[in-house]
Structure 1
């Protein structure tokens, strides 16, 4: 081997290869948790748009939802869903993630942050529930299960009709709405946290169904964003939502 060739190989090892891995490791990693009745499929377009920007995206489906609907049972509770996401992060060996929760997903990401705060760089609540210790979906909403159509331990969404082909919303495990969240780790409060309130055109922010959760975030000193969209911004305004998620992730 010539002297110059040896020098070239050394330079490759010392400079070029480390820079390549550094660039790979510097990608923003998003873990997106969907809302009730949905599935990871609901964020497919947002995933694609974030990936085009160079981000790495995971959008796991919660037990009993989406393509995992065959696992639905009356035993599926809030902590089943929290562990779905905790284990995704641990088994994929993810670090410094941007954890996003939509709607009911706010319950889940709050529990995840309590269990593994060291893996999370930022938390984004997307028109989501923001619970305090001991609260449940029903306790925050004043909900009564008698208001809903329930079969085999699942809350059936009124907009889903028989014979619809996937992808589609499916019954959501009732127990997940009844279980109170238990928050015991103060380190979750050290994570940079943000709230995105989606407000439909020509409506006032305070009229939105999740306005009080956004107000709670503001009281905590979090930065609160507003996006003109309906509750499912991942479908109605995916480009604008992606830009906002990417902007927050890069702050």
Structure 2
């Protein structure tokens, strides 16, 4: 067994879903990780269990604290890999900032390490504490690429309103040691060249990337939800990132 394989086999991986999704949205990715010997954790964060949840007290900071608590609960099991899809990228980056010594690698799935002062989506429409899944017409065609009509209908059926403050609150970072944690960007709606151009142009969403000591960009061309459209390919890329 190679060194990389041994590292993978003993690693806990925490997967944080993007907006409107519960932890079970990773169900087709998890078997690929488990086949590689990884232990996958797919928590459903507060406010996302049910459409009937009270989301009024759920914030970006409180969801970050939930994942920090999960990392701390694995204290005796070595370092942890974090995977965040879409809005989950801001959450895992907050955890990297809080526990840089515990994180082996952070993997951002069609997302990135949200910088200080930047909200995930401050323009997302909300009614009170709830930000429901918008109509599909509001999304770019690239976001919906490879999703079948059946998948779109199923997604809308399972979607839970996002806690509005998770979308609207600015990120708060305080620990420069986060920059020492290796990161991987698995991009499904942008090419590597487009991301590199955005970094060079100083696009706010990507300003954390050049600060990281080790950053890898990997392309997985599909829509914004590769856990639905290319779950096995996504799983293999996560495994590769863990073993890097």
TM-score range, shorter chain: 0.7 to 0.9
Which of 67, 70, 85 is the aligned partner of 1:102? 85
Question: Could you list the per-position Cα deviations for residues 156-187 of structure 1 after superposition, in whole angstroms to 9, with x for gaps in the alignment?
Answer: 11359xxx899711110111122111111111
C-alpha contact 2:15 2:42 (8 A) present in aligned 1: yes
Where 1:224 maps in the other structure, the secondary structure is: strand
Count of matched residue positions in the alignment of Structure 1 and Structure 2? 215
The residue that corresponds to 1:183 in the other structure is 173
TM-score by length of 1: 0.75
The corresponding residue for 1:136 is 119
The question of whether the paired residues in 1 share the 8 Å contact of 2:8 and 2:243 is answered with no
Cα-to-partner distance string for 1:26-61 (whole Å, 9 max, x where unaligned): 522211111011110110111122112211100111
RCO (CA 8 Å, sep 6+): is it higher in 1 or 2?
A: 2
Change over 3 Å in CA distance of 1:152–1:192 after alignment to 2: same
Is 2:70 the counterpart of 1:88? yes
Aligned partners of 1:129 and 1:204: how far apart in 2? Answer: 13
What's the CA shift for 1:241?
Answer: 0.7
In structure 2, relative to structure 1, the CA distance for the partners of 1:156 and 1:185 (3 Å cut) is same
Match of 2:161 among 154, 168, 171: 171
Give 2:216's aligned residue. 223
Which of 163, 178, 194 lines up with 1:206 in the alignment?
Answer: 194
2: CA distance, partners of 1:109 / 1:166: 25
Judging changes above 3 Å, is the alpha-carbon distance between structure 1 residues 226 and 165 closer, same or farther for their aligned structure 2 residues? Answer: closer
Q: Which residue of 2 aligns with 1:56?
A: 39
CA contact (8 A) 2:84 2:108 kept: yes
Q: Output the aligned Cα RMSD.
A: 3.0
Extract unaligned runs of 5+ from structure 1.
1-22
Matched, 1:249 2:242: yes
Equivalent position SS for 1:229: coil
Determine if contact 1:28/1:250 at 8 Å carries over to the other structure.
no
**Any idea what SS the aligned residue of 1:199 has?**
coil
Secondary structure of the residue aligned to 2:174 is coil
* CA distance 1:48–1:70, shift in 2 (3 Å): farther
Q: 2:59 aligns with which of 56, 74, 77?
A: 77
- Is there any run of 5+ residues in structure 2 with no aligned partner, and where? 1-5, 137-153
Change in Cα spacing, 1:204 to 1:47, as seen in structure 2 (3 Å) is closer
Instruction: Give the structure 1 partner of residue 184 of structure 2.
Output: 194
- For 1:24 and 1:185, locate their aligned partners in 2 and report how far apart those are by CA, in whole Å: 26
Using the TM superposition, give the Cα deviation of residue 130 of structure 1 relative to its aligned residue in structure 2, in angstroms. Answer: 2.6
Q: Is the 8 A contact 2:50 2:160 kept in 1?
A: no
SS at match of 1:45: coil
Q: Which runs of 4+ in 1 moved over 6 A?
A: 164-167
Shift of 1:219: 7.1
Q: What is residue 238 of structure 1 aligned with on the other side?
A: 231
